[in-house]
Structure formats: structure tokens, C-alpha cells
Amino acid sequence: MVHAISLPPGEFGGGFVDDLFLGRLEAAAHPSFEEICRLRVSAHFLVGRGGGVTQYVPVMKRAWHAGVSSWEGRERCNDFSVGVELEGDAKTPFTGLQYEALTTLVAVLSRRLAGLCPDRIVGHQDVAPGRKWDPGPCFDWSHFRGLLRRGVALPAWEPVWE
């Protein structure tokens, strides 16, 4: 499941996303953090603007990224999905490096997750319509799916699975 996040809203690279996912976001750091600093939220991965990938939760463990959600008749998508956050917002195009990193990450995950195929990669807005907007209008699904079809050379690294 593809998401988008920026903290503070519309700002990138400050390390606040790490703080949120690690449960150490300080309310006093920015006015917008007061309402989110106590949330229990995480993702399996974050893809930064420069294409760097950070893993927060082992792939086979539950991350708290989808909230109230449903996909193909199944509720509670956190129970069966991998959450990938892209550092971004609804107004800023994602970078080429982010698309490349996301494509590589999907290829790496596909080595062990047999059911992972392009038509099973969805956005947060697809599983929580009307409640969530991300990854939003700036995420180019056709470009991303084209990259998936083209394929990538698989890196030697492996995510943490268990």
C-alpha cells in the first residue's frame, strides 16, 4: 500500500517522519504536531525524496499505516499489507529517485511475497476512500506501473522479514 507523508505538512527532510514512526514526535516541535504526536502510527518503509529507503517494521509484522480500511472485501488492511510511505504531499510531484526506489523495493519484496503483483499495489485512498487522499494526485500510477513492467536489477540487500 502506497502512502504519502510530510511533516510538518508540505515540508520534507526534517526527520519528523522518523520521530512519528518511532513514537518520539514532540508536540512542541511544530503547531501541527499537537494533534498527531500521540498517534500510534508506523509503516514498514519510508522512501525519502532522494530515494533512500528506511525500514521501520519487519515485513511480516503488522505496521499501523492503513487505519480503518478495506480491500477486496477484507477489512483491517494493516493485518495483511505492507505499508510504504513516500515522502511527499498532495501538491508536490514525487521524484524520479522515489519512483526508482519504490520499483526496486517492490521487486525485492516480490522475491518472497508471491502474491505481490502490480495490480495488487494500491494507494491509501483505495482502501480508505473518502477518508484518505494519499498518495494523491501527484503520484503517477501509469509511470510507476511502466517501471514495474520494465523491471530492475535486483540489489543484494534484503529487508528485515521477521
User: Catalytic site residues?
Assistant: 85
Q: How far apart are CA 159 and CA 21, in angstroms?
A: 17
The helix/strand count (H/E) of the chain reads as 4, 6
Q: Please state whether beta strands 45-47 and 53-55 pair in parallel, antiparallel, or not at all (unpaired).
A: antiparallel
Whether residue 135 is preceded by a cis peptide bond, meaning omega within 30 degrees of 0, is yes
36 neighbors 25 (Cβ within 8 angstroms): yes
- Spacing of C-alpha 43 from chain mean position: 6
Q: Which of 61, 26, 30 is nearest to 43 (CA)?
A: 61
